[in-house]
Amino acid sequence: MKINVKSEIGELESVIIHTPGREVENMVPEFAERALYSDILNLDIARKEFGQLSAVLSKLTKTFEVKDLLADVLMMDKVKEDLINSICRRENVSDISEKLLETDAIELSRLLIEGVDMKKDNLTRYLDKNRYALNPLHNFFFIRDSSASIMDKVLISRMANRVRERESIIMEAVFKHHPDFNVPTINPVKSDFVDEEMSFEGGDILIARDDILLIGVGSRTTSQGVDYIMECIKDRNLTRNIIIQELPYKPESFIHLDMVFTLLDVDKCMVYEPLILQSNRFLTIHICIEKGIVTSIKEEKDMLTALNKLGMELEPVFCGGNSDAYTQQREQWHSGANFFALAPGKVMGYDRNDQTLEEMYKHGFEVIKADHVIQNGMDLSDKNKYVITMGGSELTRGGGGCRCMTMPVSRKNVRW
């Protein structure tokens, strides 16, 4: 299988997900902020809600679980050794490397995600309030962030927070070594362009069209991260356009571009209107790269204006509706702008954002409950435009939506 992702909306052919496990519960309030959470989640409810996403995807496309993929690559002795040594060195826990190397692949896959208990065998460790030598990956079910499929390559993210670095290490190992993939990876940590200020995450990277990349710049993706991505996508034979959208650092619901803007169809997008379309202090910048050279960098009025100039005329659908600012804020906070496209005009999102779904209905999207697809075997083949809604009372408290929880491997090309 090769990577082929040239848009956000092309019909989905394969996707990687991670069903939340014990790592979500392996947290106490004292360490929630360090783990990038504002609260702790109920695993049983989160897994039930995620099960709707997983079941719908399994009915419509080839779906991989990252824990299974990781277990497969850990069966290769050299890969296992290199991966363990890399993780232990980066996280300063080389004393547990021997124990991990002796662990079988399936159990090791679980431990690398759920965490490894600290052996309290000296005074320093006894006094350490942390339970874990290797901390759980509390955020890994938001699998979009740790890598990004761009055209025929996978860009390994340089995460903004060190607590998430292992997620990127795991994704690189999966893409480089799993026999189901034939994927070139690009890792900034191993390049000559590495910069201490550089970070970027998959939630900030959207492919509008094969020649247009949208990137959010804020708390998770820096300008240096954008510069690195530019170097990666330069092509002497092609013109590339990058549209940059500055994002607020607060509140935390603005961490990525896909929390305020996602693509729904060839001619429609979901927007958080106060940030994307209203006048504000956050810049929209268009960078044009021709034959491998940056030919222009200029400010634009907003993202839709910039896209319109490039031949993408998009009708905005407003997150939270357009009549009440409080409702817009509430539904954006609950990932109301974060939709994942299954095909052009066919998307998934949370069922809790009533006004957003009402707006989608007004724009021609049939609203379908995930359980109707899963339990009743609803035939979707004759439906042209729809939004499948899943539970999100618990998952959204983690700070993301359906796009955040999916890593596309391949999509069919869109006929624009």
Domain segments of the chain as ranges:
12-411
Out of 280-289, 339-348, 368-377, least confident range: 368-377
pLDDT band for 31, please (50, 70, 90 cuts): low
pLDDT at 129: 85
Question: Is residue 29 predicted with pLDDT exceeding 70?
Answer: no
2 or 285, which is more confident?
285
**How far is 143 from 154, CA to CA, in rounded Å?**
13
Q: pTM here?
A: 0.94
Average pLDDT score, the chain: 93
Residue 36 has pLDDT above 60, yes or no: no
Residue 376 has pLDDT above 60, yes or no: yes
User: How do beta strands 346-350 and 386-390 pair?
Assistant: parallel
Least confident of 59-63, 179-183, 341-345, 346-350: 179-183
For residue 182, the model assigns a pLDDT of 77
Which 8-state DSSP code applies to residue 161? S
What pLDDT score was predicted for residue 55?
97
Q: How many CB atoms lie within 10 A of CB 75?
A: 13
Q: What pLDDT shows up at residue 251?
A: 85
pLDDT band at 323 (very low <50, low <70, confident <90, very high): confident
pLDDT confidence bin for 37, thresholds 50/70/90: low
Per-residue pLDDT for 396 more than 70? Answer: yes
Answer whether 3's CB lies under 8 Å from 153's CB.
Answer: yes
- The predicted pLDDT at position 26 comes to 76
Model confidence at 92, pLDDT cuts 50, 70, 90, reads very high
CB-side exposure of 149: number of CA atoms within 13 Å? 25
The secondary structure of residue 5, as a DSSP letter, is: B
Say whether pLDDT at 189 is over 70.
Answer: yes
- Which among 2, 18, 114 is positioned nearest to 57, based on CA atoms? 18
Say whether pLDDT at 19 is over 90. yes
Architecture of domain 12-411: 5-stranded Propeller (3.75)
Nearest to 340 by CA among 41, 3, 57, 4: 57
Q: What is the pLDDT of residues 227-284, one digit of tens each?
A: 999 999 888 888 999 999 999 998 888 999 999 999 999 999 999 999 999 989 999 9
Residue 289: the pLDDT is 96
pLDDT value at 38 more than 70: no
Cα 268 from Cα 270, distance rounded (Å): 7
Average pLDDT in the 396-404 region? 92
- State pLDDT tens for residues 198-228: 999 999 999 999 999 999 999 999 999 999 9
* CA distance linking residue 54 with residue 19, whole number of Å: 8
- Residues of the chain above pLDDT 70, percent: 96
Predicted local distance difference test score (pLDDT) of residue 69: 98
Query: How many Cα atoms within 13 Å fall on the side-chain side of residue 40?
Result: 12
